[in-house]
């Protein structure tokens, strides 16, 4: 599989993952024990792993661009963000299971400790900011208006956490469109490259 084809596939799957993340994620008032219970579900784990998968796939897709600085920046942002996602997802999962058996309100204090641990939340914020920068850099490197929704999706990744579930799902849809438009751009470049190569061999 050539590089552009691999990049196209990576962005195509990443877009689907970014939509599945907010759509499958269970929502509830997370200041309550009921909100904690949903963190002990398979949907909670799966949805967050889709987000991590999306970050990693765009990191794998961008290097198809020659000497891409956006790929380096995006990879750094993806790694920083994924560290927090993993800690939050698997740190809160057993607490959610415990809440399902014993709805003790004191468990909510542990949720706060896991989710808002200063170093962890700082790494997460930095990672999302770096991803936003990487998204804009990717749009500049691609030199295509088709990459604007992709850049906008990553620029809004941090703010979307402060919106209601419909807003988060709309953001997932924006990233789906953005990733698929980038995939389309890469596919068109592959077709052009293949056509030029065929002409040279005639």
pLDDT digits (tens, 9 = 90+) for 55-85: 999 999 998 888 899 999 999 999 999 999 9
Residue 201: pLDDT band (50, 70, 90) is low
Give the pLDDT score at 196.
54
The whole-number pLDDT of residue 25 equals: 96
Range scoring the smallest mean pLDDT among 8-17, 97-106, 162-171: 97-106
Percent of the chain with pLDDT over 90: 81
The pLDDT value recorded for residue 5 is: 86
On the question of pLDDT at 182 being above 80, the answer is yes
What average pLDDT is seen over the chain?
92
Contact between 70 and 47 (Cβ < 8 Å): no
Direct distance between the N- and C-terminal alpha carbons of the chain, in angstroms, rounded to an integer: 23
To 10 degrees, the CA torsion angle through 170, 171, 172, 176? 100
Is residue 136 predicted with pLDDT exceeding 90?
Answer: yes
Distance CA 51, CA 16 (A): 10
pTM of the entire predicted model: 0.91
Q: What is the pLDDT, as a whole number, of residue 202? A: 58
Q: Quick: pLDDT tens for 102-124.
A: 998 999 999 999 999 999 999 99
SS3 108: helix
pLDDT(179) > 70 = yes
């Amino acid at each position: 599989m050539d590089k552009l084809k691999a990049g196209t596939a990576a962005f195509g799957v990443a877009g689907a993952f970014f939509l599945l993340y907010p759509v499958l994620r269970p929502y509830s008032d997370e200041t309550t024990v009921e909100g904690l219970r949903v963190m002990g579900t398979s949907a909670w784990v799966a949805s967050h792993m889709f987000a991590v998968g999306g970050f990693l796939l765009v990191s794998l897709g961008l290097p198809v661009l020659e000497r891409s600085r956006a790929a380096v920046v995006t990879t750094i942002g993806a790694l920083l963000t994924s560290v927090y996602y993993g800690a939050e997802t698997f740190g809160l999962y057993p607490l959610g299971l415990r809440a399902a058996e014993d709805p003790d309100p004191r468990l909510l204090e542990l949720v706060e400790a896991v989710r808002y641990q200063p170093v962890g939340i700082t790494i997460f914020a930095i990672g999302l900011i770096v991803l936003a920068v990487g998204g804009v850099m990717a749009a500049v490197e691609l030199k295509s208006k088709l990459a604007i929704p992709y850049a906008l999706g990553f620029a809004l990744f941090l703010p979307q956490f402060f919106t209601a579930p419909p807003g988060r799902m709309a953001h997932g849809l924006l990233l789906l469109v953005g990733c698929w438009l980038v995939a389309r751009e890469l596919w068109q470049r592959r077709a052009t490259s293949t056509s030029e190569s065929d002409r040279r061999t005639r």
